[in-house]
Structure 1
Amino acid sequence: MKKRSFIKLAGMGAMGALGASGHVPLLAAEGQQAPLKKFEENGVVRPFGGNTVVFHTDKSSPLFLSMLRVQVELQRHFGDSITCLPPDSYHMTLFDMANQQDRKPGLWPSGVPLDASVEDCTKKLAALLKSEPISFPGKVYMKIDPNRPLSLPKEHKPGSQPAFIIPLLPYSSADTEMLRAFRNKLSGLSGIRTPSHDTYVFHTSMGYRIKPMSAETYASFETYYKKWINEMTQAAGKISFDCPDFCSFIDMYQFTPVVALK
């Protein structure tokens, strides 16, 4: 299955095939690189390379199937403003590693030159993870957080592309500690520690807003969101994730496993 096509599963899937864009990112007036867009305003995915550690969502799980159902309504009612991610890409991020945009200490691996290519960065991190005795201790359990505010703000800033996420919480204190300890291991190993390291919100992303919504549309979206969260919370219940993978990506459509951390 090609990564730039929405897949169909059990008669449900996203509609339409989206191709990659070869546009060169714009530069800010100061000569610094402007924030890179992950999508065009028509929903076409743009190049955005990097690497990350994620749990891939089990395609037979209640969470995945409920996300498919939500995606159909999301695409039908709000497809003009939100571009959906292909279900093959559904995952929960455990630890953000490096991306081509954020090249500064704390956001880029300490042992990799700031001007190194993303490909070289991925190779160095993969070699490091293979050489160190680091493995995730076992299955971790999560649940949907129905109380977290909607991730898409009412106001849409020009050029911004906020993600539409389903927020997740560790199911128990043991799960919280398992995730915290492993994130700290990855941080110490890579030299990456973001300002939100200790307050990171676990989630699974479903899409990105690419165009503003009218006040009426946004109000409708809020209503649908509450409905979706309630339905997904009931359907997904206790969510389990197995071994995480260190993955590479060239855009937001596919996260390719490089090293299995088990």
Structure 2
Amino acid sequence: MAISVSTVNEVLATPNEHGIENGGWLSDQQEQRIEPVPKNDFPHQQYPRWIGHKFEPDGRVLPFPGHTIICHLPQNSSLYDCLLLLHNDLQRQDFAACYVLLPPSSWHMTVYEGVSDQIRKRTCWPGDCALDAPLESCTTMVREKLASFDLRSEPPFRMTIAGWEPLEDGIALKIVPASLDEERRLRGLRDRLSKLLRMRHPGHDTYSFHVSLAYMLRFLGQQDHQAISAFLQSYLKKLPKTFELGAPEFCIFDDMFAFQRELYLKKQS
């Protein structure tokens, strides 16, 4: 049985439980979801959030460089095999024109969101970097900080499948830590990374862990929404209930199709 995200978060909702001070940041309730800077020549209101930024309306990938901290989904895992069947099946559906599928080699769970060159806002950019600093120098600074960062515990991270994220921006498997101890470990890690890098994304405390499989190319009509939802629900029973992830990786990316590992986060001796 999947662990309820709301139940886990209610248990761990004590302010400053992980030992991080507010530091003048707004609370998650006050913060708004960060949106990419609109392009003057693109009708963003006609498309889902990331079309025109990460993808063209026809599914062609667009440059969207940045860096992030993720756990790639192991290719020798049963979940990877199951999702590969799902990926191949999604390509054959009548509603396949609604989305662009991500390459299986890119599948991952984001541990900490990192930065995007196209989103230069104080909450989403390291505090030690000027907002107009080149992405390359920002990446170098973050890499140097992470090289000596103490993960404090050894992988794996045990996760539980909790369903699907809402069909808004894309198709994503919703996952939660498999126990309260794992929840504390992951949330505490996010807090320590936030403090180290002096940045805190909106929704930091309530971030929903997930594995993205596709991005929506257009807003769904009722018929497509129902068809895709039913298709995805039918696959849930085919997926393993729990799975494991290895050490977090600091990765750079040019777009959403590939994440190149620069280093692993390690437990320091």
**TM-score under structure 2 normalisation?**
0.77
Q: Aligned to 1:250, which of 231, 246, 254?
A: 254
What is the deviation of 1:212? 3.3
2:39 corresponds in structure 1 to 26
Counterparts of 1:190-229 in structure 2, within 5 Å, are 190-229=197-236
Comparing 46-55 with 136-145, greater Cα deviation is found at 136-145
Deviation by residue 1:2-44 (Cα, 9 ceiling, x = unmatched): xxxxxxxxxxxxxxxxxxxxxxx83379xxxx97521111111
Q: Aligned residue for 1:117?
A: 134
Match of 2:4 in 1: none
Counterpart CA distance in 2 for 1:214 and 1:188 is 42
Deviations 1:215-239 (A, max 9, x none): 222211111121122322xxx2321
Matched, 1:261 2:265: yes
Following superposition, the deviation at residue 51 of structure 1 comes to: 0.6
What secondary structure is seen at the aligned counterpart in 1 of 2:59? coil
Q: Unpaired segments of 5 or more residues in structure 1?
A: 1-24, 154-161
1:248, 1:68 → 2: CA distance?
24
Distance in 2 (CA, whole Å) between partners of 1:70 and 1:249 is: 25
Q: Secondary structure at the match of 1:231?
A: coil
Fraction of identical pairs, as percent: 30
1:12-91 aligned at under 5 Å gives the runs 26-27=39-40, 37-77=53-93, 78-91=95-108
Contact 2:167 2:225 in 1 (8 A): no
Deviations 1:182-214 (A, max 9, x none): 111100000111221110000000010012333
Matching residue's letter, 1:108: W
* Cα gap change, 1:188 to 1:28, in 2 (>3 Å): farther
* Structure 2 gaps, min length 5: 1-37, 43-48
Query: Out of 107, 114, 119, which is 1:97 matched to?
Result: 114
Counterpart contact for 1:141–1:171, Cα < 8 Å: yes
RMSD between aligned residues: 1.9
Q: Aligned pair count?
A: 220
Answer whether contact 1:136 1:243 (CA < 8 A) is retained: no
User: What amino acid sits opposite 1:83 in the alignment?
Assistant: V
Compute the TM-score of the two structures, normalised by the length of structure 1.
0.79
Report if aligned partners of 1:53, 1:97 keep a CA contact under 8 Å in 2.
yes
What is the aligned partner in structure 1 of residue 166 from structure 2? 151
In 1, Cα distance between equivalents of 2:211 and 2:203: 17
Write the distance in 2 (CA, Å) between the matches of 1:82 and 1:171.
30
Match of 1:172 among 169, 179, 197: 179
Q: Is the 8 A contact 1:50 1:250 kept in 2?
A: yes
